[in-house]
Amino acid sequence: MGDVRTNLFADDDAADLDLSSFRPAKPVRQSEEATKTAAAKAGFVSREPKVVPATPVPEKPARRVWRTGRNVQLNLKATPETVAAFYAIADAQGWVLGEALEKAVELLREKYAPKAG
């Protein structure tokens, strides 16, 4: 090889370029253990996710979307037990959540409304 590089895109030099004897070298494969050792020595930190045991996915509640004319949202905090009981009562009665809330308010009004004196 000389100091002059062959121009691969020139038409006149393309005929002189002989690649018939070219054979690609076979890749050298290292063992997985050697690769891990070299990576640890170089301080490489793997980006592979760590496999953790799957946690059970909670059961998805039934879809609760109905067109009822109720269009005001009420957002409040409650204990998980209270929320579960509310959903269970609504489901058992076949009520949408807005209807269950209306029934609860009616009962609360009957029991705790100020008495007219």
pTM above 0.75, yes or no: no
User: What whole-number distance in Å separates Cα of residue 3 and Cα of residue 72?
Assistant: 82
Contacts of 21 (CB under 8 A, 6+ apart): none
pLDDT of residue 64: 64
What is the crossing angle of helices 97-112 and 80-93, to 10°? 100
How do residues 9-53 score in pLDDT, each as one tens digit? 776 655 667 788 889 899 888 899 999 899 999 999 888 888 877
- For 61-79, write each residue's pLDDT tens digit: 666 667 778 888 899 999 9
